[in-house]
Amino acid sequence: MQILVLPGDGIGPEITDATLVALDAVREQFSLPLDLRHDVVGYASQTRHGTTVRSSLLDDARQADGVILGPTDSLEFRDEARGEINPSKFFRKGMDLFANIRPSRTYDGLPSKVGAFDLVVVRENTEGFYADRNMEAGNGEILVTPDVAISLRRITRACSLRIARAACDLAMLRGRRVTVVHKANVLKVCDGLFLNACREVAAEYPEIALDAVLVDSMMAHVVRDPRRFDVIVTTNMFGDILSDLTAELSGSLGLGGSLNAGTDHAMAQAAHGSAPDIAGQDVANPSSLILSTALMLGWYGRRGGHGDFVAAGAALEAAIGEAIAAGEATRDVGGRLGTKAMAEALSARLRAA
């Protein structure tokens, strides 16, 4: 498996280093053939190349089997004409990574205020309210006058059908329940199209129980009783917000794994930001990027029929749970270790398995 590694900004290099320590341990445990190539995005790329993402990196990413992308300071990347490009958007759109898979579950040793749960948010990743990826050229945000701004939202039947199918396929491996989150009572055309597409696909899966919940109601339901949900499918921005909420309900946004998957490529990406305020302090939780990398190994293994990669991904995820239960995690999730020490403890745990 060829992997392109891009550490990013802020805590990105620290949690990427920790992820690679854990990845090396699981590579040794399962004798995985891994070929890692390292490059830069974000401020390091801007300093070196004058742009936060070089256009040639897209070809490199397409030639690889997967990408590990550390968080970047995308809020400050405002002017693409000056080379300030959002790396996340660049790869998601450029490689058509249409499915953002974000599992959330509770862990032994980490108290939960909402009880034990295990669910997955399947988020459409390439259109919707995200104005930087819903136009062929240009941006979907328009400044009509200094005091009037308009943002366009794109929903297509093709993208809705394929994200619905991704959710149903995943549900067949889990509890066979899919919840569509929408706002079709107000966004009757856009969300109506999305909801109808999900119902159309679900009809091809008679084993799956499908229900639909308004996005505002969903926020209340998932806080009250997340155990009632299994696979949740929704549009881009709704999924972004909802998956951050479910990750936090599991104990920390730092436990939110995130896989961006397309037909031929996948990218592991932490669900959180670059947190420059704690960069360099050895306190950042690397779990999100490690869990995302575990998801990518599993995706690669299932896609190619490589059982060793599927097992390796499962081992990485299990090791995170065991580390939290043993207090061998960072302080934000009840542990006592720093970033590097947590990575070393995970490595030792994996090598001893």
Measured between alpha carbons, how far is 310 from 298 in angstroms, rounded to an integer?
A: 4
Local structure of 5: helix, strand or coil: strand
Q: Can 65 be counted among the known catalytic residues?
A: no
Q: Can 107 be counted among the known catalytic residues?
A: no
Q: Can 35 be counted among the known catalytic residues?
A: no
* Burial state string for 259-276 with b = 16 or more CB within 10 A and e = fewer than 16: bbbbeebbbbbbbbbbbe
Local structure of 292: helix, strand or coil: helix
Query: Which of the following is catalytic: 73, 132, 230, 240?
Result: 240
Residue 150: name the closest of 173, 136, 134 by CA. Answer: 134
| Chain centroid, CA 88 distance in Å | 10
Measured between alpha carbons, how far is 346 from 225 in angstroms, rounded to an integer?
A: 31
Local structure of 284: helix, strand or coil: coil
Local structure of 58: helix, strand or coil: helix
Query: Which of the following is catalytic: 244, 282, 308, 332?
Result: 244
Neighbours of 103 (CB within 10 A): 26
Query: Which of the following is catalytic: 89, 107, 132, 183?
Result: 183
Query: Which of the following is catalytic: 35, 59, 216, 225?
Result: 216
Residue 10: name the closest of 274, 277, 269 by CA. Answer: 274
Q: Can 24 be counted among the known catalytic residues?
A: no
Q: Can 183 be counted among the known catalytic residues?
A: yes
């996948």: which residue's tokens?
A: 266
Query: Which of the following is catalytic: 130, 191, 230, 300?
Result: 130
8 A C-beta contact, residue 313 and residue 298: yes
Q: Around 157, how many Cα atoms within 13 Å sit in the side-chain half-sphere?
A: 7
Q: What is the radius of gyration, based on Cα positions, of the chain? A: 20
Catalytic residues, by residue number, are 130, 183, 216, 240, 244
